[in-house]
Structure 1
């Protein structure tokens, strides 16, 4: 799961590395220019990574076309579906993880498993879940990951201390998390979480059976009325009835103010949020936060970035485009530079062995939290993608509102969501 709006603040990490490629610039009359489409701040990380690649590839120029997050993905959707073909397509496109299902399950992206790309040989070099989630229905790999967002529970240590709640009590299970939230609210007045919706999202993402996407079963059929959804909706209803959520949306001013004032005890989020809090949102809370694994031994991803080659882009440029993607995903030093500069957690496993992961984090009171996130990254189960995931999430959000605001029975809400998704699937 992911929060796309974080891309307006977070530098969605780009990485690089040299490696074998189908062809090199300068061999014959190869293309002298590539076009890469990206979004903030991925665009800047790409630009930072280009000088070495430019020098190693005979001076080939790279034009980076940047659009705002939503505009970028809309433009890529339009370009891939256009009948006019390659003239409107970039040679390389950056895609956020939440959009991968929409793009990968069509026919618009190049199969990187096939010759001359041979991307399957790179599998052991990446965090497993990120690599596997770039596959289409035919199990072909259509993108390479560069950064990921290991899920974490960030909590205010000072608020927990005042409430007499220990981190172990907060994380024992999802039910324990809600119960601890009730004690925190009663004893400190602080809310447990910004919005019950975010609890629903992570419980579903972390507890679905293997082989299922968040909302669809292993055969791609809607499956939103089972035990995981019953549990998630029930927990959210407990949160709302006990007044444990502030009913504020992430990235809004009131959300940020709650964080600054200690009015939110926890954030269920990606590891990158610690950097955002430290640098942008609440730097004055330095030393008050800590990180833990998600409750109940759960592991889930929050966002990430991939690179792909459009299938109908200019064939003469594809070898060089693949060369660039390898540069942007396989270089350990560049991955670490993006991590240190933009909190973009590397998908490249070799980067995880750097001493930087063992350094204390002052914003988290000296905790060596990157070790925690590294462990989580390797435990996140891969989940197949589905082109309707974002629509399904909107449907579930609507039905959750019906439960929380209008007292709609949970079985009826989930049954209606299942019926709507089934109807859409049958169209």
Structure 2
């Protein structure tokens, strides 16, 4: 199995290598001016760390970075205020969950037009990210920055303790589908002390993506009656009944601390989650974590979990400097290298996945080259169809998941509640 997985990874990486790299013109170092960049924590820290390298190329551009907390939609509100203001903000980030709300606003500069001409190289980004930023009339609202190819992070020492294999290929083979995840995963449980996953949402999000089903169709129909939602919630119930789902609320201090305490054996998230493990949640666990594919639906084990984009506002008084910045951030090798090695941010720019700096034996994962997992996933994953009501549907589904896991509602009752709540706002 290990040979098969490595062969598939090699094929995927080879196909990516064959993609044409962006023809990089010599940068115009005479470009000057000041730009204001709107983003969120901790991406503000990421940008600040990049500025010395950026200014080594563009010494005459001053970049002011403002980080707005995302809590209570604060960042979304800040972007919308910046749009209405018509000036003061030059560049803004867009998180994938906000894309459907923001991408068709006229306040974004059309990057397909001269002098940007992004259409000439947009296909060098992951295909689903291109679809997310390209409007029906051909307008390109933003450039893709990073994606979130999803995997199963797991504690190899806990797996060994439970008598399970620890090699990523062997673990991947054992946890091939969601039935196996329930059957084998419950061996990791210590009642009221150790769980397999933090929240049932990890299961539902992955299964939706693997089935190629979004909350809404391309025509805007709410798809809650699709069988995958019933199947996914039934798996949540099975996992909860087996004691596999923790009682902690995702992203709460208790949930975060559970990783440091060794109370969660796996996490089903995008590659960026590794940055949180390394630098916040499990800082002293180098060599204890590994990564493999998540269990699959009908053989599909790929899903996306996260992603961000960056664009220029029409109100910018220095679009030339703004373009120099965003183009450098998303395509420059040194920029992408620093963002990956410092924050585990996976590049949407696909030629980067052939670079040495992303293909290395990572000591945190016991010497595993995790790009052999993530690059094929990014190449294969089916994108979500984005809709402006996605946040409403996700919130309603989150409540349903927790109610099913805690035995408050049956699967049928939970889905009926989601349907009523979302359709009331359509």
Provide the TM-score with structure 2 as the length reference: 0.83
Per-residue Cα deviation, 1:140-185 (whole angstroms, up to 9, x for no partner): 3211112222211011222222323341455210121122122322
For structure 2, the 5+ residue unaligned runs are 1-21, 166-170
Q: For residue 4 of structure 1, what is the aligned residue in structure 2?
A: none
User: For the Cα contact (< 8 Å) 2:286–2:366, is it kept in 1?
Assistant: yes
**How much is the aligned-residue C-alpha RMSD, in angstroms?**
2.8
Q: For residue 11 of structure 1, what is the aligned residue in structure 2?
A: none
Out of 303, 311, 318, the residue aligned to residue 300 of structure 1 is: 303
Secondary structure at 1:234's aligned position in 2?
helix
C-alpha deviation, 1:20, in angstroms: 5.6
C-alpha deviation, 1:229, in angstroms: 0.5
What is the CA–CA distance in structure 1 between the aligned matches of 2:190 and 2:280, rounded to whole Å? 30
User: For the Cα contact (< 8 Å) 2:172–2:292, is it kept in 1?
Assistant: no
Per-residue Cα deviation, 1:46-66 (whole angstroms, up to 9, x for no partner): 334345655655723332223
User: For the Cα contact (< 8 Å) 1:34–1:61, is it kept in 2?
Assistant: yes
What is the CA–CA distance in structure 2 between the aligned matches of 1:403 and 1:175, rounded to whole Å? 18
User: For the Cα contact (< 8 Å) 2:200–2:401, is it kept in 1?
Assistant: no
What is the CA–CA distance in structure 1 between the aligned matches of 2:403 and 2:346, rounded to whole Å? 36
Provide the TM-score with structure 1 as the length reference: 0.83
User: For the Cα contact (< 8 Å) 1:197–1:397, is it kept in 2?
Assistant: yes
Which segment drifts farther, 219-228 or 117-126? 117-126
Per-residue Cα deviation, 1:220-275 (whole angstroms, up to 9, x for no partner): 22111211111111111111222211121333332233323332111111212223
Secondary structure at 2:305's aligned position in 1?
strand
Figure out how many residues of one structure are paired with residues of the other and give that number.
Answer: 395
Out of 191, 200, 207, the residue aligned to residue 203 of structure 1 is: 207
Q: For residue 215 of structure 1, what is the aligned residue in structure 2?
A: 215
What is the CA–CA distance in structure 1 between the aligned matches of 2:272 and 2:33, rounded to whole Å? 36
Distance 1:77 1:406, change over 3 A: farther
What is the CA–CA distance in structure 1 between the aligned matches of 2:109 and 2:380, rounded to whole Å? 28
Q: How does 1:233-382 map to 2 (within 5 A)?
A: 233-296=233-296, 297-310=300-313, 312-314=314-316, 316-382=317-383
Q: For residue 98 of structure 2, what is the aligned residue in structure 1?
A: 99
Distance 1:58 1:236, change over 3 A: closer
What is the CA–CA distance in structure 2 between the aligned matches of 1:18 and 1:221, rounded to whole Å? 41
Distance 1:44 1:195, change over 3 A: closer
Per-residue Cα deviation, 1:21-55 (whole angstroms, up to 9, x for no partner): 9x96868xxx7322211222322333343456556
Q: How does 1:25-424 map to 2 (within 5 A)?
A: 32-51=33-52, 53-54=54-55, 59-70=60-71, 71-80=74-83, 82=84, 85-87=85-87, 89-136=88-135, 138=137, 140-166=139-165, 167-168=171-172, 170-185=174-189, 190-209=194-213, 214-296=214-296, 297-310=300-313, 312-314=314-316, 316-405=317-406, 407-424=408-425
Distance 1:77 1:178, change over 3 A: farther
User: For the Cα contact (< 8 Å) 2:172–2:294, is it kept in 1?
Assistant: no
